[in-house]
């Protein structure tokens, strides 16, 4: 690997500067991505290895991040599990038959991921060829709780009230569904590692919808199963948005790194994790609207606060679609220019 900064940071090694990448870096803020989007619908892009691999490397070509993340979607998992998922323009994910009862859970299958999700493995192989060992590649999955949120709610939500109601009124069925998703996710991520990804990230986008007690029951214990199953295969990053309260517990797991969002200071995140695990984050994505000179100053301040070691520079969530290209560049360049 010509640039192994990211892998070294995951191991907690001393580095000359922290590595940098951005969640959703392969996507809709790039004109070259928009050109592909005009020709092909969302899931066609995910299912066509040439398209997925091209989209994955676009930001690396333009900005030279230290790691690529495979272009895909967390909802390919429920699709493989016999759950219909559509991606509606200007709306987002839509599941026409949400799961609301035991019968719905019983109809969900744990698939053979090597058959149902073979297109993802082919995309990984195609991407590895394009990357040519310049930088590592991350594979990812949604957390079981986050996937359940979509499967039960049927679409995005500000509260995921229907998903929570299902868990609290029908906990047996909810845990059965969570376990099916977990089993599928473990097999999926293992297949991704075998296909060539160098690390995996679990996105718990909706973990913050749960109270700290419910988070342990309905989310963290399933994420931890994934970490335990993958820990000997590849480094695992766990990113739980809105869950800073769980950082201490998460730092006692076998995760290689924890993603943090902008609702917690670097100092508090380090204190809660006892400075023993690599942290990733936590620049507010909307701060990329600030002028480039200001972005650079804020990034340097952020690195100073986290410390350059055991740290991966990232946003606290995905990059927004209308961020100016020069602002995204300022974010990446600030890290590359960093001197401690």
Candidates 108, 109, 113; CA nearest to 139 is 113
Catalytic position from the list 29, 150, 188, 222: 150
- Binding annotation for substrate: 24-28, 43, 73, 150, 205, 317
Query: Does an H or E element contain 79, and which?
Result: helix 76-80
Does the annotation count 150 as an active-site position?
yes
Contact indicator for 203, 221 with CB cutoff of 8 Å: no
Catalytic position from the list 73, 214, 233, 309: 73
Candidates 55, 150, 72, 148; CA nearest to 113 is 72
Q: How far apart are CA 159 and CA 13, in angstroms?
A: 40
Cα angle: 50, vertex 66, 237; to 5 degrees? 90
Q: How far apart are CA 73 and CA 28, in angstroms?
A: 14
Candidates 162, 80, 70, 157; CA nearest to 117 is 80
Q: Residue 82 corresponds to which tokens in the numbers above? A: 């016999």
Main-chain phi, psi angles of 2, to 5 degrees: -65, -40
Does the annotation count 24 as an active-site position?
yes
Catalytic position from the list 37, 62, 214, 289: 37
> DSSP of 131-194, one letter per residue?
HTTSS-EEEEEE-HHHHHHHHHHSB--SS-HHHHHHHHH-HHHHHHHHHHHHHHHHHHHHHHHH
Does the annotation count 222 as an active-site position?
no
Residues designated catalytic: 24, 28, 37, 73, 150
């Amino acid at each position: 690997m010509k640039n192994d900064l990211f892998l070294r940071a995951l191991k907690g090694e001393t580095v000359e500067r922290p590595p940098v990448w951005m969640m959703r870096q392969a996507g809709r803020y790039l004109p070259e991505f928009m050109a592909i989007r005009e020709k092909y619908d969302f899931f066609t892009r995910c299912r066509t290895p040439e398209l997925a691999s091209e989209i994955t490397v676009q930001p690396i070509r333009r900005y030279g991040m230290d790691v690529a993340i495979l272009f895909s979607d967390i909802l390919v998992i429920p699709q493989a599990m016999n759950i219909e998922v559509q991606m509606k323009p200007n709306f987002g994910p839509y599941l026409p038959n949400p799961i609301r009862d035991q019968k719905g859970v019983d109809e969900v299958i744990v698939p053979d991921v090597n058959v149902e999700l073979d297109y993802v493995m082919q995309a990984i192989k195609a991407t590895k060829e394009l990357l040519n060992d310049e930088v590592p590649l991350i594979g990812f999955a949604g957390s079981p709780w986050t996937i359940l949120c979509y499967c039960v709610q049927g679409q995005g939500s500000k509260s995921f009230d229907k998903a929570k109601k299902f868990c609290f009124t029908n906990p047996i069925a909810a845990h059965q569904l969570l376990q099916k998703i977990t089993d599928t996710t473990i097999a999926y991520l293992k297949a991704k590692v075998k296909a060539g990804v160098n690390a995996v990230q679990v996105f718990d986008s909706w973990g913050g919808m749960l109270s700290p007690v419910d988070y342990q029951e309905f989310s963290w214990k399933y994420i931890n199963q994934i970490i335990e199953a993958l820990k000997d295969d590849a480094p695992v990053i766990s990113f739980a948005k809105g869950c800073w309260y769980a950082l201490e517990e998460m730092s006692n797991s076998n995760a290689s790194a924890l993603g943090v969002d902008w609702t917690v200071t670097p100092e508090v995140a380090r204190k809660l994790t006892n400075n023993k695990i690599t942290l990733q984050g936590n620049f507010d994505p909307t701060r990329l609207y600030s002028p480039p000179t200001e972005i650079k100053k804020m990034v340097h301040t952020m690195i100073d606060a986290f410390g350059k070691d055991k740290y991966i520079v990232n946003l606290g969530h995905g990059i927004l679609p209308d961020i100016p290209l020069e602002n995204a560049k300022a974010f990446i360049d600030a890290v590359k220019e960093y001197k401690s």
